[in-house]
A = this chain, B = another copy of it.
């Protein structure tokens, strides 16, 4: 009701729009949510996450397993770690990576469910 009809949207169903506006999470949350899914939205990162589903693996395990360069793996692990989807454990010259928490498992599983329908 605070919105004058000064815009070009003449067909707006105001009641429906107003109701959505009430329940819509703050922009910042929606932005963060998109950022989260963006991390899952890359084939290399998905492969890495899937590889880490059961065991922790070191960087070159992942590189060999997925037939991608160590550098590419390192870059993507950094993204995954920054976004708290994996955690790192250092052991001598090796750094072992594992999924950060159960949310990651769940999101992967739910996504796969949707794919396979």
Q: Hey, which bits of chain A sit against chain B, CB under 8 A?
A: 3, 7, 9-13, 16-17, 19-21, 23-25, 29-43, 45-47, 50-51, 53-55, 57-58, 60-61, 63-65, 70, 93-94, 103, 106-108, 110-117
CB distance from A113 to the nearest CB of B (A): 7
How many copies of the polypeptide does the oligomer hold? 2
Q: Are B34 and A41 in contact (CB under 8 A)?
A: yes
Q: If A34-B41, A60-B12, A64-B12 touch, does A103 touch B107 (CB 8 Å cutoff)?
A: no
Identify the closest chain B residue to A106 (Cβ): B110
Q: If A34-B45, A58-B13 touch, does A25 touch B112 (CB 8 Å cutoff)?
A: yes
Q: If A11-B93, A34-B40, A54-B19 touch, does A29 touch B112 (CB 8 Å cutoff)?
A: yes
